[in-house]
Amino acid sequence: MIILFYLFSAILLAFALGTVISTNLIHSALLMMGSFFAVAGLYLLLQADYLAMVQILVYVGAIAILLVFGVMLTRKGSIEESNLPNRYKTIGLVTALGLFGLLARSITYTRFPSPPLESPPQNIIAIAQAFLLQYIVAFEALGILLLIAILGAILIGKEPK
Amino acid sequence: MIGLSHYLLVAAALFCIGVYSVITKKNAIAVLMGIEFMLNAININLVAFNHFMAPSQVIGQVFAIFIIGVAAAEVSLGLAIILSLYRQRHLVAIDEMDILKW
């Protein structure tokens, strides 16, 4: 368990850093795909098996492929220099490192209460009950949101007359 | 022993990588990638809190699934906007997208 946690975390952070550092946008998209697989592995370690499958299906299968399509459809100039930083590089570095220092300090100094580890419920059954009984209104709203997003994407993306 | 704070630290690092990508990238698609990293970090936080603080419930996982659905809607709309901007004005860099500025 401990080795797997460090392995998945190292893969995740290394691939995410590679995504940010690489100047080739196609390489960035492929490295991002790998980091999404590592996130799915972390979900498996946290006993969220259904969520790990959803992560692979939606993020790796849909969102990453969609971003690759976006990269290929909007090419301008050389692909080797398609992912350059703008003039706010130092400001961004300072902001990100400062934010990480702040978060890391508050995480390590907080004493989280540790309740006794109970046996987790049957994952898929419990999630289905939560979706269809407790959060049914939010579930329907999410469906309507996705429908509106599809219609809006078609409307924005279609050829102007 | 791997505890809650280990997962929170990994998620914080991933979130900061996303913040850096959003601030410093020129290409609009790279900015969308940064937003995806930030959303993934939040999902890791939710699932880790679910697993360590309330193991008898699945509320954190349900929230994470809602966030994944909203992220899918967001990335599809964002890409549609980027594609239409590229087709009409040949723009990819976000610091050139100043049509709304007078």
pLDDT tens per residue, range A53-100:
999 999 998 898 988 888 888 877 777 777 777 788 899 999 999 999
What average pLDDT does the structure give for chain A? 88
Residues of A in contact with B54 (CB under 8 A): 115
Q: Cβ of A88 and B33 within 8 Å? A: no
Banded pLDDT at A118 (limits 50, 70, 90): low
A104/A159 same-domain check = no
Q: At residue B19, does pLDDT exceed 90?
A: yes
A3 in a domain, yes or no? yes
pLDDT for the residue numbered B102:
62
Q: Cβ of B71 and A63 within 8 Å? A: yes
Q: Cβ of A82 and B27 within 8 Å? A: yes
Number of folded domains in chain A? 2
B74 in a domain, yes or no? yes
Number of folded domains in chain B? 1
The SS3 call for residue A85 is: strand
pLDDT for the residue numbered B94:
81
Token look-up 């498996």 returns A44
pLDDT for the residue numbered A32:
93
Centroid of chain to Cα A100:
18
Cα end-to-end distance, chain B, whole Å:
57
| B6, B38, B47, B87: best to mutate for the A interface, most A CBs within 10 A | B47
Residue B48 belongs to what domain range? 4-96
Query: Which residues, numbered 12 to 41 in chain B, qualify as contacts with chain A under a Cβ-Cβ cut-off of 8 Å?
Result: 12-21, 23-27, 29-30, 32-34, 36-37, 40
Domain containing residue A81: CATH number: 1.20.120.1200
A115 in a domain, yes or no? no
Interface ipTM above 0.85: yes
Q: At residue B43, does pLDDT exceed 90?
A: yes
Please tell me what DSSP assigns to residue A91: H
Q: Cβ of B68 and A59 within 8 Å? A: yes
What average pLDDT does the structure give for chain B? 89
Average pLDDT over every residue of B52-67? 88
pLDDT for the residue numbered A120:
66
A14/A86 same-domain check = yes
Q: At residue A156, does pLDDT exceed 80?
A: yes
Banded pLDDT at A12 (limits 50, 70, 90): very high
Put simply, whether B72 touches A (Cβ < 8 Å) is yes
Q: At residue B67, does pLDDT exceed 90?
A: yes
8 A C-beta contact, residue B30 and residue B21 = yes
8 A C-beta contact, residue A95 and residue B19 = yes
A161's tokens: 């007359």
Task: Report in angstroms the alpha-carbon separations of A18 from A123, A129, B27, B40, B45.
Answer: 34, 40, 16, 16, 22
B101 in a domain, yes or no? no
Q: Cβ of A127 and B37 within 8 Å? A: no
